[in-house]
Amino acid sequence: MDIKKLVKPNIRSLKAYKAKEIPCRVKLDANESPYGFTILKDIKTNRYPDPEALELRKLVAKSWKVKYGNTLHGNGSDELIYYLINTFGGPVLYPVPTFSMYGIISQALNTKKIEVPLDENFDLDLKEMLKVIKAKKPKLTFLASPNNPTGNAFSVERIEKIIKASKGIVVVDEAYQDYSAKKSFLTLFNKYRNLVTLRTLSKIGLAGLRTGFMIADEEVVNEVNKVRLPFNINSLSQKAAVDGLLKKKEMSASIRSIVSERKLLFKEMRKMDGICPHPADANFILFKADNSDKIYKGLLKKKILIRDMSGAVKDCLRVTVGTPTENSAFLKALKQLL
């Protein structure tokens, strides 16, 4: 039996998101925080989790100064991207290169996607985006700011112009906002009803819990909530996320350390011949390297894992900011290879 023939054509030609464990000593490939927390409380494993994630959502709402009704929880923000595309459909517009899941999920849901290249500074090509918005009327536009894999935040004015010009929903994905000094769009749904902001706990030390949120107008939240699976965040994750978020001091300290280490990494990498790091507002740095393939493989031989991004941005690699020790090991190995 040819199983492939049973699969819908859009899924047949879809390539799965590449995520596998590669053994290494220094792990700087996945934009996680190197700092975790010891958290676990008594959990009743015989009971279903709270479908509304009440305690967690209340805490998130309080700390982000929005109302509970303006929040919705996802099993990572990945799941919310899925729900958003399922709810509003396409065309789905996004700049490229960007986070690959916007395209993968659109295709999985058989939804038309429109990709517009970023400009030469990896900022939004406003003219082209506005042209597409006017001509194609996308139902959804995804703007990851700070953007992955380029690392920079987009111009706030350009994002705002896109929101104003759009008749559809505009999603500002702020997965890396904790590492950025640029303005957040978190509470602007009060001004723009078509604005959804995505946040995740994955980049600030809680990636293993798979917990993300969308913040939006209550009506938008209610519509997306219709397609949410009832128990999408398990009890352990809900409890641990609450505990993690309450460790405010530790969390802020780890964010500060990563930002200052990023500056240091950037400074050191800029001094190296054959390496060109791109300015970063996230917890990672995209850099161009002569012989990027050799550098990636050379680092891996030394058990240092970073991410090969040459498929998305020519000759580019992406390194996540680690602990000071991990970053020194990376810099030392990179210097040796050069």
Ligand X SMILES: Cc1ncc(COP(=O)(O)O)c(C=O)c1O
Cα separation of 150 and 121, whole Å?
10
- Using the minimum distance from each CB to ligand X, give the nearer residue, 148 or 166: 148
Cβ proximity of 141 and 168 under 8 Å: yes
Cα separation of 182 and 171, whole Å?
17
Min dist. Cβ of residue 256 to ligand X (A): 21
- Using the minimum distance from each CB to ligand X, give the nearer residue, 160 or 173: 173
By the rule CB under 6 A, 103 interacts with ligand X: no
By the rule CB under 6 A, 148 interacts with ligand X: yes
Residue 289 CB neighbours (<10 A): 22
Min dist. Cβ of residue 301 to ligand X (A): 26
Cα separation of 154 and 182, whole Å?
9
Min dist. Cβ of residue 82 to ligand X (A): 10
Min dist. Cβ of residue 166 to ligand X (A): 19
List helix spans (H) across the chain. 3-6, 9-12, 54-63, 77-88, 101-108, 126-136, 156-165, 218-225, 235-246, 248-270, 292-301, 324-337
Cβ proximity of 196 and 163 under 8 Å: no
128 bridge partner residues: none
Report angle CA 314, 319, 324 to the nearest 5 degrees: 155
Min dist. Cβ of residue 283 to ligand X (A): 10
**Among residues 160, 173, 217, 281, the one that binds ligand X under rule CB under 6 A:** 173
Using DSSP bridges, classify how beta strands 169-173 and 307-308 pair: parallel, antiparallel or unpaired: unpaired
**Among residues 34, 49, 76, 277, the one that binds ligand X under rule CB under 6 A:** 76
Cβ proximity of 261 and 319 under 8 Å: no
Q: Which of residues 235-294 bind ligand X (CB under 6 A)?
A: none
Burial 116-144 (b: 16+ CB within 10 A, else e): bebeeebbbbbeebbebbeeeebbbbbbb
**Among residues 29, 32, 78, 261, the one that binds ligand X under rule CB under 6 A:** 78
**Among residues 26, 104, 144, 215, the one that binds ligand X under rule CB under 6 A:** 144
By the rule CB under 6 A, 175 interacts with ligand X: yes
Q: Among the candidate windows 76-84, 234-242, 257-265, 288-296, which touches ligand X by CB under 6 A?
A: 76-84
Min dist. Cβ of residue 54 to ligand X (A): 20
Min dist. Cβ of residue 336 to ligand X (A): 29
By the rule CB under 6 A, 31 interacts with ligand X: yes
- Using the minimum distance from each CB to ligand X, give the nearer residue, 292 or 320: 320
Rg of the chain (C-alpha set): 20
By the rule CB under 6 A, 77 interacts with ligand X: yes
Cβ proximity of 173 and 163 under 8 Å: no
Q: Among the candidate windows 70-78, 117-125, 249-257, 291-299, which touches ligand X by CB under 6 A?
A: 70-78
Q: Which of residues 189-208 bind ligand X (CB under 6 A)?
A: 200, 202, 207
By the rule CB under 6 A, 212 interacts with ligand X: yes
**Chain residues that interact with ligand X, rule: CB under 6 A:** 31, 76-78, 99, 144, 148, 173, 175, 200, 202, 207, 212
